Amino acid sequence: MSAQPAQYSLRGTGRMKRRKRVNLAMEIVATAASAVAVAALVWLVVSVLIRGLPALNLDLFTKNQALFGQAGGGIANAIVGSFVIVAFATAFAFPVGVLCAIYVHEFAGATIRQAVRTTLDVLTGVPSILVGIFVFSILVAGGKQSALAGSVALAIIELPLIARGTQEVLALVPGSLREASLALGVSRWRTVLSVVLPTSLSGILTGTMLAIARAAGETAPLLVTSSIVANSTSLDPSKALNSLPVTIFVYSESPDPNQHAQAWAAAFILLVFVLLTNVAARAFLARGRRKLEGAPARRRRLRVYHLFTRP
Amino acid sequence: MQARTRRLGDRIGDVALRLLTGAAALGCIGLVGWIVYEIFELAWPAITEEGLSFVWQTTWDPVHEVFGAFDFIFGTLYTSFWALLIAAPISVAIGLYLSELAPAGVRGIVGTLVEMRAAVPSVVIGLWGILVLGPVVKDYIGPALGAVLGWTPFFKGTPGDVGQLSAVIVLSIMIIPITSSISRELFLTVPPDLKEAAFGLGLTRWEMVRGVVLPFTRSGVFAAIILGLGRALGEAIAVTQVIGNRQGVNWSLFETGDTLASRLANTFYGASSALEKSSLAYLGAILLVITLVANIGAQLIVYRFDPLRERK
């Protein structure tokens, strides 16, 4: 660089104009990309609304499948079955997930903490069809499909979501709260059960609701564990039960337009459930945030967004 | 001494809670090992029968019990590659829009909408993929691509209702929410003083992004993309609904194909012979290895990079 006095002027030269044009172009590209992403969601949801809403009727909720090719009939057994399978799955996964998180956060040292975290992330990344095949291998092979086998598979999918969610929330409980309790002479386990857990309850519920939303839409594991079903409504988890996602999957590949309509109706019901659960989870989270005021805000956001979008 | 004066109940409670929670944590770790073991166990007869040549054999014929995985491995990697090619730049652009450009009001709404899409079950995306996207691909998107890029091997032939192109679009729709929201969070971790210094030097916004934001977050964004890839590789249902489920190595996206996960979802329960079931489990084992490598790789990068990880 020579030491000549700078000859810059503040007026835009050709180069400055080009830089500004490049900048503008890039801003337009970024905005357009976001618009495309939002448009895709709108297209998806509106398609489900347009085709699902007209197909909704009372029979859908009260009757079982019509014979092939005949009009009418409903998906009552799928709705009930989905409910049963997801309820059992959550009952299995919730205690294990929360306990696992408590151990990691309250008792474990840094190495174990990292090991369990990594394991849970790995578990999240295992394709759900492989979870299905695993459960098939230990519970179904040689025997029969059952809703319980489906629940176990969905529980494995819920487990890392609940455990990771709980861990992140436990990390937000202010250390001073724990210390205050211990300083009053309260033992460790009482501190965990009556101070730490109640404080983080809303966060735990957020993780659980997101896990339920995820599990309710899982199809692949149910195809191998609970898909060959009777055309009757049942609450018995020892039999294979129908479910909404499996119904949508089977009907979507059917040539029968009546079944297409019912697939859209089932998709509508499932989508409404999943989106409402998501919105409720966010509301819980907002409530929890207000309660945990004072924890470092930036970190909280980073972790929380991972919760919503982890594959 | 404090310990001596503690009540018996407290001592039992402490130990009990530690044991109970420890067992749960151990169970989580054991579970992953068990899944890996069980899938390889199920695949073992096929692994011993067909050996490593299974990986590059192209025939899959249950009737004559000849099995080879190459077509499915190709289909999995090929569709995921294209999906990533579409989703990665769009995701980074969305991340940049949300972190640098969008007005505060829009930011929250668009961010929430993009994340909401991550919640849509894959079977619903697949249903939409067959009945809504499929015809649009056949009548509009496919012919348009064919007219412009028909001279490349990737867009040869005539597009149909189902095929690899629909699978690629569906997969990229599923990757974008994951990758874009992680990138957005990464971009927000860039220290504001670095950005302001760049503006202070007279850089335009794009020059600031290229010179400061992207270099600062490069490895994290790379990890986010790999996480999205992991999702694409393992997606079974939506792909099986739209890809056409016919094997064959087709470079043209207009042709049908099949992937590892899709073949598993479609045929595993109905597999008739023990060898077919075992060969399918072998496909599962290959898929497991591919996704584990992708996920663990991404996590290693994230842990090394994450500027906000606990330093304890």
Question: What pLDDT sits at residue B170?
Answer: 94
Question: What pLDDT sits at residue A1?
Answer: 46
Among the residue ranges A126-130, A226-230, B82-86, the one predicted with the least confidence is A226-230
For chain A, how far is it from start to end, CA to CA, in angstroms? 51
pLDDT tens, residue by residue, B94-136: 999 999 888 888 888 888 888 888 889 999 999 999 999 989 9
CATH classification number, A63-309, choose in 1.10.3720.10, 2.60.40.10, 3.40.50.720, 3.30.43.10: 1.10.3720.10
Considering chain A, what is the average pLDDT of its residues?
84
Question: What pLDDT sits at residue A293?
Answer: 56
* pLDDT category of residue B312 using cuts at 50, 70 and 90: very low
Percent of chain A having pLDDT more than 90?
36
Residue among B124, B177, B312 minimizing CB distance to A110: B312
Q: Which residue of A has its CA nearest to B228?
A: A311
- Per domain, the residue ranges of chain A are 63-309
**Is B284 close to A129, i.e. CB distance below 8 A?**
yes
A301 touches chain B (CB under 8 A): yes
Q: How many residues does chain A have?
A: 311
CA distances from B186 to A184, B62, B203, B308 (A): 41, 48, 21, 10
Residue among A37, A43, A96 minimizing CB distance to B180: A37
Whether B308 shows a pLDDT value over 60: the answer reads no
Please spell the DSSP secondary structure of B82-138, one letter per residue.
Answer: HHHHHHHHHHHHHHHIIIIIS-HHHHHHHHHHHHHHHHS-HHHHHHHIIIIIHHHII
Count of C-beta atoms within a 10 Å radius of residue A53: 11
Chain A positions in Cβ-Cβ contact with residue B192 (cut-off 8 Å): none
**Is A34 close to B29, i.e. CB distance below 8 A?**
no
pLDDT tens, residue by residue, A165-213: 888 888 888 888 888 888 998 888 888 888 888 888 888 888 899 999 9
B128 touches chain A (CB under 8 A): yes
Measured in angstroms, the CA of A62 and the nearest CA of chain B are apart by 22
Chain A positions in Cβ-Cβ contact with residue B32 (cut-off 8 Å): 119, 122-123, 126
Measured in angstroms, the CA of B10 and the nearest CA of chain A are apart by 6
**Is B182 close to A118, i.e. CB distance below 8 A?**
no
Percent of chain B having pLDDT more than 70?
95
Report domain B53-305's class: mainly alpha
Q: Which residue of B has its CA nearest to A133?
A: B39
Q: How far is B118 from B227, CA to CA, in rounded Å?
A: 13
Name the nearest CA neighbour of A287 among A299, A296, A279. Answer: A279
Q: What is the ipTM of this complex?
A: 0.89
Q: How far is B154 from B254, CA to CA, in rounded Å?
A: 8
**Is B24 close to A96, i.e. CB distance below 8 A?**
yes
Pair B164, B257: CB distance under 8 Å: yes
Measured in angstroms, the CA of B110 and the nearest CA of chain A are apart by 7
What 8-state DSSP symbol labels residue A173? S
pLDDT tens, residue by residue, B167-186: 999 999 999 998 998 899 88
Count of C-beta atoms within a 10 Å radius of residue B109: 11
